[in-house]
């Protein structure tokens, strides 16, 4: 059964897809976009930025979190990760922990395919017993 897209889903997807087009991924050619809806109903987005020195790259989710924090917000209500193909693109382990820093038990993580199919899970399903995650 396909998930019915809400207005929030559509806004997040449009913003993530726009950011995804600017991804710098010359090594993997795996362009990812991410968009966040924060506690103030503000939107933030970013894309992955690779570097020849592999560990120095940045995931799209990390960039979107940085943009959110730079704007003064501190809570992720929803985050959408836009995949460059027909597979869902869950956050890597490091990004799951970064999301945990600003999530609560109600935070929704949306994973969108290139064709617009969305899978939604609560953050706690992606990283149960996250380090330092004791929020309600």
Q: How confident is the model at residue 90, as a pLDDT?
A: 97
CA distances from 39 to 7, 75, 104 (A): 16, 5, 11
Q: Is residue 2 part of a domain?
A: no
76 Cβ neighbours under 8 A, 6+ residues apart: 36, 37, 38, 65, 68, 99, 102, 103, 107, 123
Q: Is residue 136 part of a domain?
A: no
Q: Is residue 131 part of a domain?
A: no
The position carrying tokens 């869902």 is 88
Q: Which helix (DSSP H) or strand (DSSP E) does residue 9 occupy?
A: helix 7-20
- What is the domain extent for residue 39? 7-126
**What total of structural domains would you count in the chain?**
1
Q: Is residue 78 part of a domain?
A: yes
Summarised one tens digit per residue, pLDDT across range 21-69 is: 999 999 999 999 999 999 999 999 999 999 999 889 999 999 999 999 9
Dihedral in degrees, nearest 10, Cα atoms 36, 48, 14, 69 = 20
Q: Is residue 135 part of a domain?
A: no
Q: How confident is the model at residue 100, as a pLDDT?
A: 94
Q: Which positions are catalytic?
A: 61
pTM of the predicted model, to two decimals?
0.93
Q: Is residue 134 part of a domain?
A: no
CATH number reported for the structural domain that contains residue 38 in this entry: 3.40.140.10
Q: Is residue 132 part of a domain?
A: no
């Amino acid at each position: 059964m396909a998930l019915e897209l809400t207005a929030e889903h559509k806004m997040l997807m449009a913003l993530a897809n726009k950011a995804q087009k600017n991804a710098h991924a010359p090594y993997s050619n795996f362009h990812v976009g991410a968009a966040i809806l924060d506690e103030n109903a503000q939107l933030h987005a970013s894309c992955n930025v690779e570097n020849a020195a592999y560990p120095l790259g940045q995931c799209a989710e990390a960039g979107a979190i940085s943009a959110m924090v730079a704007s003064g917000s501190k809570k992720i209500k929803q985050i959408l990760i836009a995949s460059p193909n027909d597979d869902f693109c869950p956050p890597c382990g490091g990004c799951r922990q970064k999301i945990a820093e600003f999530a609560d038990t109600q935070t929704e993580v949306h994973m969108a395919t290139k064709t617009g199919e969305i899978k939604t899970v609560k953050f706690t399903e992606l990283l149960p017993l996250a380090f330092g995650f004791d929020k309600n």
